[in-house]
Amino acid sequence: MLFVGEYRHSLDAKNRLFIPAKYREMLGDTFYITRKMEKCLAIYSEEEWTKLTEKLNTLPDSSVGAIKQFLYSKTISVSPDSQGRVVITPELLGYAQIDKNAVIIGVGDHLQIWSDTLWTEKENAIDTEKLMEQLRLFGL
């Protein structure tokens, strides 16, 4: 499963966000939305969420307890309605500073949801020279 691309959508009055059909097919009937350490949200398929939680469960709580609390306390399990929309909680929207316009981006094994404003700022701040150096270091 490889999530790629960028889609811009607006939340409706009921905090519903349209998930593009391309992504819904890959995510399945039920998927998970949670916080990322960056000020954005992540969408994981059931399979990828299980992988993530299994990895966390192999580590001692003394090392990952705070990470588990951060992730699990606000994570929601969602299923799109007949129009492909999911309801996102006010807590998650507030964390990611999403008020109306959102950007859904593919980042390989999962998706991210950004506020339109924060995503634009992040893109404008990209240091391509630094990224090229990182790619060289990894032999890519």
Q: Residues 71-88: pLDDT tens digits?
A: 999 999 999 999 999 999
Q: For residue 2, which of 35, 31, 45 has the smallest C-alpha distance?
A: 45
Cα torsion at 38, 95, 62, 76 (round to 10°)? -110
Residue 53 lies in a domain: yes
- Domain ranges, residue 128: 6-137
CB 11 within 8 A of CB 100: yes
Residue 60 lies in a domain: yes
Gap between the Cα atoms of 48 and 130, Å rounded: 29
Residue 111 lies in a domain: yes
**In the numeric block, which tokens belong to residue 83?**
């129009």
Helix (H, G, I), strand (E, B) or coil at 112: strand
Residue 52 lies in a domain: yes
What pTM does this model have?
A: 0.91
Residue 1 lies in a domain: no
Exposed/middle/buried for 96, CB within 10 Å: 0-12, 13-18, 19+? buried
pLDDT of residue 127: 83
Number of domains in the chain: 1
Bridge partners of 35, per DSSP, are 41
The CATH number of the domain holding residue 96 is 3.40.1550.20
pLDDT of residue 90: 97
Helix (H, G, I), strand (E, B) or coil at 51: helix
**Interaxial angle between packed helices 61-74 and 46-57, expressed in degrees from 0 to 180 and rounded to the nearest 10:** 150
Q: Which residues in the chain land under pLDDT 50?
A: none
